[in-house]
Amino acid sequence: MQAAVEAKFTEETVLWVKQHTPKLLTFAITRPEAYRFSAGQFSRLGFRDGAGFIWRAYSVVSAEYADTLEYFVVLIEGGPMSARLAQLQAGDSILLDKTAFGFFLPGRFTDGEQLIMLSTGSGIAPFLSMLQQPAVWERFRHIGLVHSVSHANELIFSQHINELIHHPLIGEYTDQLTYQPVVTREPTAGALGQRLPQLLQNGTLAEGLGLNFNHEQTRFMLCGNPAMVTDTFQTLLDMGYSMHRNKVPGQIIMENGF
């Protein structure tokens, strides 16, 4: 039985760890040559725990073609996995499920010209992976990336996003991108200050992105904490948008596994 379980994962090496705030962590691990994923999917990472294992799902920040796998984690007080990750150092070992999971994929939309990426906390991770794929930029004429956090020091990817203009594969497309930070608990220059549902309802988000949201051309992807996803999804339903399904095309795809 143990051998069968271990056949489903590989043991990888932690390459680097960066602690941005007491609760925000990014790190990278080695990538097996056979590991495949699509931008927007998540990995299962784990550790041995006594006679068993502990596993959690984390969206990949890296591009599909990257040599390493990068992740962004919000540490949860009292969480058993967070306790392990808080002690993580370069050179440590970590377990990686051989299979990537999830259907949070922009390619599921069959039409539309505007892709609006709405995220809170670590929910920005899959969007950072998507933005490194030329196919996303070729597919949508306008991309709006929205990242909502509580405090300004949690906007840890702002510089990374601004530097996409120098990316060798997608730099030529970045004039199609508008990045809109949202900080809900303190006034912050350049950031909006309300929760995403309110920003959608009052039109402030569309104004901040310089876009006219409409049912024909606007497509929304939601990723982050369950409260945001639930409330924002309901707001979009109230605005006349609908969930995208394989047999019934709509304007919303969401992921709330954070």
Q: Tens digits of per-residue pLDDT, 168-217? A: 999 999 999 999 999 999 999 999 999 999 999 999 999 999 999 999 99
d(CA 229, CA 126): 15
Q: Tens digits of per-residue pLDDT, 83-130? A: 999 999 999 999 999 999 999 999 999 999 999 999 999 999 999 999
pLDDT (0 to 100) of residue 246: 84
Residue range(s) defining the domain that contains residue 45: 2-97
The C-alpha angle with vertex 77 and arms to 59 and 25, in degrees rounded to 5, equals 40
| Domain co-membership, 114 together with 58 | no
d(CA 35, CA 62): 13
Report the SS3 class of residue 121: helix
Mean pLDDT of 11-27: 97
Please write down the HEC assignment for all residues of 182-233. Answer: EECCCCCCCCECCCHHHHHHCCHHHHHHCCCCCCCCEEEEEECCHHHHHHHH
| Domain co-membership, 209 together with 249 | yes
Tell which of 97, 116, 151 closes a domain: 97
pLDDT (0 to 100) of residue 7: 87
Q: How far is CA 240 from CA 39, 110, 213, 233, 236, in A?
A: 28, 18, 11, 11, 6
| Domain co-membership, 70 together with 112 | no
Total domains in the chain come to 2
pLDDT (0 to 100) of residue 1: 45
Report the SS3 class of residue 155: coil
d(CA 145, CA 116): 6
d(CA 62, CA 224): 18
pLDDT > 90 fraction of the chain, expressed in percent and rounded: 95
| Domain co-membership, 215 together with 127 | yes
Mean pLDDT of 215-229: 97
Mean pLDDT of the chain: 95
Task: Tell me the residue ranges of DSSP E strands in 98-207.
Answer: 114-120, 142-149, 177-183
Residue 258: pLDDT band with limits 50, 70, 90: low
The single residue listed with the structure tokens 């906390």 is 121
